Amino acid sequence: MALLNFNMVLKGHSAFVNRTLRNIDELKSIEFGHEYPRHGLFLLHWLADHISVTPSEDILLRFDPVRQDYGFRRYKNVRDGRDMQRVLPHLDASSNRVYYTLGSLSSGSVRTQLPTYMTQDFYNAAENPYRDLDRIVIQVDRASPVMADKVYITQVENGNDFDPDKTYEISPKLLRQVKALQEPLDLIQALELHMSGSPNSTGTNSDDLRLALAPDQLLAHLKNADKRLKTIFEEQSVRWLLSLAGYDIDARYAVHKKTWSCSIDEAVKENLVPETLCEGHSAVKIEVKSTPHGYARLTWRGIPRNIMQLEPTLVLFTSDTSEALETFLPLKDEASGSENTFVALKHGLHPRLISYGFSTGHGFFGIRYSVIWRGPQFDGANRVIPIEIHGYNASLQLYTREGYACARLYIRKLFIDWQDTFRNSWVGFYTSKQDQDNEYKHYQWVSGFEQASDDDDVNEYLVYEYQSSMSIGPGVCNEETWQTASAVLKACADQLALVFTNIFNLSLTLSIVPSCFKRSSTARLEKTSTFRPQRLPPCSPHIGHDEVL
């Protein structure tokens, strides 16, 4: 009986990972985002784009999951609320290893940080129960989460728990193959390699599975899969992954045709306006950007002619679940364009393309509208993760709240003397990256930041925030970088006082006053001082002016 109990304990602690997937082709044999509206393959594509895999197969991360970059959350590896039931291998506390998971699009703080190709089906399949099943899980060192020991893919069952029968480990080789798809493919080179009989010759990327395809397979992809997907997913590397991994392209295209009322699907010439989206060459895009004064700017592109005939309207809601209308914009005859609004730019704003008309029936008379397409919500930080403050266990992030430029400071809790280190430090807000240090438009001492509400999931960090009186400018929504209100943390280190003292004492000994002292003066500012910080004197570049960021 004792032996039986012992065996049961071992079983309770065992992991249920089925097997390790070692190449893209093996993805065809499993269920992981292979059909609309699931997002598993998009998660895999995103992860490959945000890591580097070394020749020794180390997986290096370009983000910090412990800081909740891109919406990562801690996964405690407990199933059905019982510690004995685990989906992934048990991690002993002494190893300091932890699991973090990404993919819960139902969370507004997650989906707004992820790219449109991953979230568009979630927004446009509101009633579909399969739109938020897939997850990726990484195992990292809690103290130094710069590398993933393991990567897993899985899916949710019963609302919360992961399904052990649908959980797989992903090899570094598979991640390299997915990452290789993000490089442009030279079709002429690929065809020449096949003609020479050496698709994996020296000088080519052996991880690029496209180079191993026969010419007829390459052409079939371009004439069928890529042709059907290019007006759905803008990124060519996404289309390649879906094609190679066995995604149900026909079913997804059928949904696409119904959404955009396509009658035919033969693409027209590039210089002609397509009648329907299926005849076009690019995907529809509707987004929220910024005006020069911190208000929302609606932008749209590629609305096909048959939809324009419906006289559509672009509307802006507070969130994707809200019916509180912020503003609306009839598109008239403009298939592409942009328009400023007077809605303060804020996190979660959601644009939708609608058509409307008068309706009667069942005692109702009035205007009804139907949603044609939902765009991505606006992310308050523009999907830009915090920037590391070089040499310190701290990082800084720019974001917007109600149209104002704000800064968020992350402090690792192991950085115990950060208040002393940063007591004479301040954050400056600039209108351009080209601005000089003393050309800031607004500033705040770090001591003036307020601690944000404590989040148990960010238990490795202290988070402090500050809202300035400066408006977010037009560049803040430009691709991957903030261009019009960048925040820079400048350190006025205490060591400077010692350096100045040494120079001054030396000048007394030599009876020479340094020329830079003739043009400036220095004075120690107390922590509570309200003096506006000035540019360091001319001596400083030569005596150790330290730019922390």
> Reduced to 3 states, what is the DSSP secondary structure of residue 277?
helix
Is 380 contained in some domain?
no
Please give the pLDDT value at position 434: 83
**Residue 139: phi, psi to the nearest 5?**
-105, 125
- pLDDT tens digit sequence for 15-29: 557 799 999 999 999
Is 7 contained in some domain?
no
Please give the pLDDT value at position 395: 96
Q: Say yes or no to pLDDT of 331 above 70.
A: yes
- Residues 6 or more apart in contact with residue 480 via CB below 8 angstroms: 383, 384
- pLDDT tens digit sequence for 239-261: 999 999 999 999 999 999 999 99
Is 379 contained in some domain?
no
Is 382 contained in some domain?
no
**According to the 3-state scheme, what is the secondary structure of 128-177?**
CCCCCCEEEEEEEECCCCCEEEEEEEEEEECCCEECHHHCEEECHHHHHH
Look at residues 41, 112, 46, 109 and name the one whose alpha carbon lies nearest to residue 73: 109
Do 402 and 464 reside in the same domain of the chain? yes
Do 208 and 261 reside in the same domain of the chain? yes
- pLDDT tens digit sequence for 9-63: 333 344 557 799 999 999 999 999 999 999 999 999 999 999 999 999 999 999 9
Total-model pTM: 0.82
Count CB-CB contacts under 10 A for residue 380: 23
Do 256 and 271 reside in the same domain of the chain? yes
Is 50 contained in some domain?
yes
Do 414 and 521 reside in the same domain of the chain? no
Is 98 contained in some domain?
yes
Indicate which CATH number applies to the domain containing 299: 2.60.40
**Can the peptide bond before residue 37 be classed as cis, meaning omega within 30 degrees of 0?**
yes
What are the strands, taking DSSP E only, across 402-542? 404-412, 426-430, 442-445, 450-451, 461-471, 486-490
Q: Say yes or no to pLDDT of 524 above 90.
A: no
> Which residue range forms the structural domain that includes residue 109?
14-178
Please give the pLDDT value at position 190: 78
More confident residue, 297 or 222: 297
Do 98 and 43 reside in the same domain of the chain? yes
Type of residue at 178:
V
Do 315 and 241 reside in the same domain of the chain? no
- pLDDT tens digit sequence for 135-145: 999 999 998 89
Token code pair at residue 213: 């395809």
Is 4 contained in some domain?
no
Range 294-305 average pLDDT? 96
How many structural domains comprise the chain? 5
Separation between Cα atoms, residue 86 and residue 15, nearest integer Å: 6
Separation between Cα atoms, residue 290 and residue 475, nearest integer Å: 7
Please give the pLDDT value at position 153: 98
Give the domain-ending residue among 258, 278, 298.
Answer: 278
**541, HSE (Cβ side, Cα atoms, 13 Å):** 4
Separation between Cα atoms, residue 168 and residue 245, nearest integer Å: 15
> Reduced to 3 states, what is the DSSP secondary structure of residue 187?
helix
Confidence at 197, pLDDT banded by 50, 70, 90: low
Range 358-383 average pLDDT? 83
Q: How many Å is the maximal CA-CA distance in the chain?
A: 98
Helix H or strand E segment including 180: helix 172-180
Separation between Cα atoms, residue 90 and residue 78, nearest integer Å: 10
Separation between Cα atoms, residue 120 and residue 33, nearest integer Å: 14
**Residue holding tokens 């992820």?**
114
Do 336 and 414 reside in the same domain of the chain? no
Do 448 and 419 reside in the same domain of the chain? yes
Do 207 and 162 reside in the same domain of the chain? no
Do 253 and 289 reside in the same domain of the chain? no
Give the domain-ending residue among 374, 408, 428.
Answer: 374
Using CB atoms within 10 Å of the CB of residue 287, give its burial: 0 to 12 exposed, 13 to 18 middle, 19+ buried: middle
Q: Say yes or no to pLDDT of 478 above 50.
A: no
Is 9 contained in some domain?
no
Give the domain-ending residue among 257, 278, 299.
Answer: 278
Distance of CA 377 to the CA centre of its chain: 12
Do 509 and 539 reside in the same domain of the chain? yes
More confident residue, 454 or 390: 390
Look at residues 213, 547, 99, 32 and name the one whose alpha carbon lies nearest to residue 225: 213
Do 460 and 370 reside in the same domain of the chain? no
